[in-house]
Amino acid sequence: MRIGILGAGVMADALGTRWAAAGHELMVAGRTTQKARALAEKWGGRVGGFQETAAFGDAALIAVLYQGMPATLAAIGDGLRGKPVIDCNNPVEVDHFTLVTAPGQAMAWEIQNATGGQVVKAFNLCHARVWKMDEPLFDGRRLSVPYCTDEAAAAAVARQLIEQVGGEPVSVGDLRHAHHLEAMAAVVISLLFAGRDPSTVFNLVDALPPA
């Protein structure tokens, strides 16, 4: 499929590189054109403006730091209306690891309202280094990738894109749960910044007594 990548940073590189290898056709837009150009060259893809890249894709990834999200959403225009939009973004500041969204809000809902896209929150809980892994296996187990969306068609696209980076898609429900995935990211990021391995905190199954 054609995927428009909005943002030309670390996550665009990690996910776009895997999706290009899986045979998708990519166009990328970024604030720094040089970075977008370098990614497009790496993928055998194209560089576009934000509107052009949104219009190009059958689906899109938005991967922009929260500070740049309002300007990016304004620049995208109407090109994502009705399309699957993967939202990997975390509205988390790293001084105190709190959400920068208004209380009870979610960035995913802001993206949905601004673009009219079929937003899927996904890929926000692991570091880019994990998304770059050929086979994200941990203790021999495939990486589970939680996602949430309101739309069955967008869920099917997200599941495909998750499987193509070697992950196992796990639905956590409709887009109301984006709020929870974003809050969970705040905890995960604080653990990473503290030098802890989040998987040792969340990987509780083996510690449960037998049922």
Q: Residue 72 is encoded by which pair of tokens?
A: 């990016």
Min dist CB 9 to ligand NAP, Å, is: 2
Residue 61 CB neighbour total at 10 angstroms:
28
Q: Which residues contact 156 (CB under 8 A, 6 or more apart)?
A: none
Nearer to ligand NAP, 145 or 206 (CB): 145
At residue 163, φ and ψ (nearest 5 deg) are -65, -35
CB-wise, 35 or 180, nearer to ligand NAP? 35
Cα–Cα separations (whole angstroms), residue 7 to 158, 166, 176: 18, 22, 24
Q: Minimum distance between the CB of residue 124 and ligand NAP, rounded to whole angstroms? A: 5
Its sign, for the CA torsion 15, 87, 157, 33, is negative
Min dist CB 62 to ligand NAP, Å, is 8
Closer to ligand NAP at the Cβ: 22 or 71? Answer: 71
The residue (of 197 and 205) whose beta carbon lies closer to ligand NAP is: 197
In the complex, the residues that contact ligand NAP under the rule CB under 6 A are 7-12, 30-32, 35, 63-68, 71, 88-90, 124, 127-128
Q: How far out from the chain centre does Cα 58 lie? A: 16
Q: Which residue is nearest to ligand NAP (CB)?
A: 9
The least distance separating ligand NAP from the CB of residue 34, rounded to whole angstroms, comes to 9
Q: Determine the Cα–Cα distance for residues 211 and 198; give it in Å rounded to an integer.
A: 25
